[in-house]
Amino acid sequence: MSVLKLYEYPDEVLRQKCERVTKVDSELRKFLDDMLETMYVDKGCGLAAPQVGVTKRIIVLDSNPSDEDLSARKPMHLINPEIIWHSEETVMFNEGCLSLPDQRADVERFEKVRVHYIDYNGNEQEILADDLLAIILQHEIDHLDGVLYIDHLSRLKRTRLLKKLEKFREDHEKA
């Protein structure tokens, strides 16, 4: 497995509408493995293909990305994921994103979602998700349409967050 290069805001690749995958083969599975490895190394709980520069409808996630207990991990690979139902109820969750390092903000999401997808072996699957898993799914599926969580914030909050990101990067360069 290899760790892939992460693309960060404001890279244009993060704003593309991704294409559906038509074939699940060993080459794609290698990419799925690499995506998951990259996600764990960078301490994320979800990663979408455009974040590693590939504009295809693929996400990986883990709602329990434990470093101490590897057997507690719950890795998932989702190809062509699609939200086919969502609850009326919404929840607020404090989200972050590997493409906007060191930043977080409260985002409103549906409490529950039902997602249809193709799995690692090329089989069709459906999952009814709530809690953290529902949040991660919505965040990552957004990425496949070029949407970032900051797009859900008010203009004022977004501007503040992007200023903080700029400051973080300046401090990071100096260090």
Which of the ranges 3-11, 74-82, 92-100, 159-167 carries the binding residues for Ni ion, by CB under 5 A? 92-100
Among residues 74, 27, 73, the alpha carbon closest in space to that of 54 is found at 27
Residue 97, interface with Ni ion (CB under 5 A)? yes
Among residues 70, 59, 56, 45, the alpha carbon closest in space to that of 19 is found at 56
Does 108 participate in catalysis according to the annotation? no
Residue 61, interface with Ni ion (CB under 5 A)? no
The first and second tokens of residue 66, run together, are 């434990």
Query: Which of these is catalytic: 19, 140, 170, 173?
Result: 140
Residues ≥6 apart with Cβ < 8 Å to 67 = 40
Would you tell me how many other CB atoms lie within 10 Å of the CB of residue 158? 16
**Whole-number minimum distance, CB 139 to Ni ion, in Å?**
6
The first and second tokens of residue 108, run together, are 């409103």
Using the minimum distance from each CB to Ni ion, give the nearer residue, 24 or 47. Answer: 47
**Whole-number minimum distance, CB 131 to Ni ion, in Å?**
18
Which of the ranges 1-9, 65-73, 89-97, 161-169 carries the binding residues for Ni ion, by CB under 5 A? 89-97
Among residues 152, 105, 110, 108, the alpha carbon closest in space to that of 129 is found at 110
Using the minimum distance from each CB to Ni ion, give the nearer residue, 24 or 150. Answer: 150
| Positions that interact with Ni ion (CB under 5 A) | 97
